[in-house]
Chain A
Amino acid sequence: GAGVSQTPSNKVTEKGKYVELRCDPISGHTALYWYRQSLGQGPEFLIYFQGTGAADDSGLPNDRFFAVRPEGSVSTLKIQRTERGDSAMYLCASSTLTGDSLTGANVLTFGAGSRLTVL
Chain B
Amino acid sequence: AQTVTQSQPEMSVQEAETVTLSCTYDTSESDYYLFWYKQPPSRQMILVIRQEAYKQQNATENRFSVNFQKAAKSFSLKISDSQLGDAAMYFCAYRTYNYGQNFVFGPGTRLSVLP
- A-side interface residues toward B, CB under 8 Å? 33, 35, 40-45, 48, 50, 55-56, 59, 91, 93, 97, 102-103, 106-113
Q: Which residues of A contact B104 (CB under 8 A)?
A: 45
Cα A112 to Cα B44 with chains together (Å): 5
Q: Which residues of B contact A55 (CB under 8 A)?
A: 100
- B-side interface residues toward A, CB under 8 Å? 4, 33, 35, 37, 43-47, 49-50, 61, 91, 95, 99-108
Contact A102 B99 (CB under 8 A): no
Write the nearest CB–CB distance from A95 to chain B, whole angstroms: 9
Q: List 13 A-B contacts (CB under 8 A).
A: A33-B103, A41-B107, A43-B45, A45-B105, A48-B102, A50-B100, A56-B102, A59-B102, A102-B49, A107-B50, A110-B45, A110-B46, A112-B44
Selected contact of B107 from candidates A42, A106, A113, CB within 8 Å = A42
Cα A94 to Cα B43 with chains together (Å): 17
Q: Which residues of B contact A107 (CB under 8 A)?
A: 35, 47, 50
Q: Which residues of B contact A93 (CB under 8 A)?
A: 45
Q: Which residues of A contact B99 (CB under 8 A)?
A: 97, 106
Write the nearest CB–CB distance from A51 to chain B, whole angstroms: 11
Which residue of A has the minimal Cβ distance to B32?
A: A106
Selected contact of A102 from candidates B47, B91, B106, B108, CB within 8 Å = B47
Contact B100 A56 (CB under 8 A): yes
Contact A102 B100 (CB under 8 A): no
Q: Which residues of A contact B33 (CB under 8 A)?
A: 106
Q: Which residues of A contact B108 (CB under 8 A)?
A: 40-42
Contact B103 A45 (CB under 8 A): yes
Cα A40 to Cα B101 with chains together (Å): 25
